[in-house]
Chains A and B, each alone.
Chain A
Amino acid sequence: GAVVSQHPSWVICKSGTSVKIECRSLDFQATTMFWYRQFPKQSLMLMATSNEGSKATYEQGVEKDKFLINHASLTLSTLTVTSAHPEDSSFYICSASGRGPVNQPQHFGDGTRLSIL
């Protein structure tokens, strides 16, 4: 149980394109979803936290107009990288948690490798 599906797994696109990444919880209701970014040889860095039906809370230094997060249902959150540039090239991964104790583990997607040319 507790499966999270993330698509696409790999994207290459031109500079200036907007890219949407989807994160779905397949067998549980994801009340909270998290979006992380990982640059080479660095740790997973939290970008934002979203609760279903609410606006996302962005971490310091993450541009909310650049990285649009929508969490309109209990099973789907999307991250849109708007007008992507080469410096946005990175590995993006989502995770989700359901109702329960706040220290429950997160369930991760497989990640999306984004390359902007």
Chain B
Amino acid sequence: ILNVEQSPQSLHVQEGDSTNFTCSFPSSNFYALHWYRWETAKSPEALFVMTLNGDEKKKGRISATLNTKEGYSYLYIKGSQPEDSATYLCAFRNSGGYQKVTFGIGTKLQVIP
């Protein structure tokens, strides 16, 4: 069983604050790291696919970094808005004989107006 951990599990921030959270994953047999955003009563929506050590991806106010050597990725949200409230999932795809995607438990973000 591959260990993919996310912290914190929940987070409340005030509107306008910037925030970040962490996904840690095995540092060996890395293939790709995915971030998804999952709003209540909707389906998870892909944010980023990250494949190279040192990758930085950005989509509007949301960005992510990747460190495959130490096994972590950070997701940053700048100037949080109420519509950013969602659960943010990371998913680790391993390389090797049997590839699969392993999800973290998610970080539930609540942005307070």
Contacts and interface: CB of A to CB of B under 8 A. Distances in A.
A110 B42 contact: yes
A69 B18 CA distance: 43
B99 A102 contact: yes
Chain B residues touching A, range: 20 to 34
Nearest to A94: B43
Interface stretch (A11-19, A41-49, A73-81, A82-90): A41-49
Interface residues of A, number: 24
Interface string A1-12: 000101000000
B31 A103 contact: yes
B9 to A, nearest CB: 9
B78 interface: no
Interface string A90-109: 00010100000011111111
Interface in B36-54: 36, 41-46, 49, 51
Contacts of A6: 43
A4 B51 CA distance: 25
Interface stretch (B58-66, B69-77, B100-108): B100-108
A30 B49 CA distance: 19
Interface string A44-66: 11100100000000010000000
A49 B99 CA distance: 11
20 contacts: A36-B103, A42-B105, A43-B4, A43-B105, A44-B89, A46-B100, A46-B102, A49-B100, A102-B93, A103-B31, A103-B32, A104-B49, A105-B34, A106-B101, A107-B43, A108-B36, A108-B43, A109-B43, A110-B41, A111-B43
Interface of B: 4, 31-32, 34, 36, 41-46, 49, 51, 89, 93, 99-106
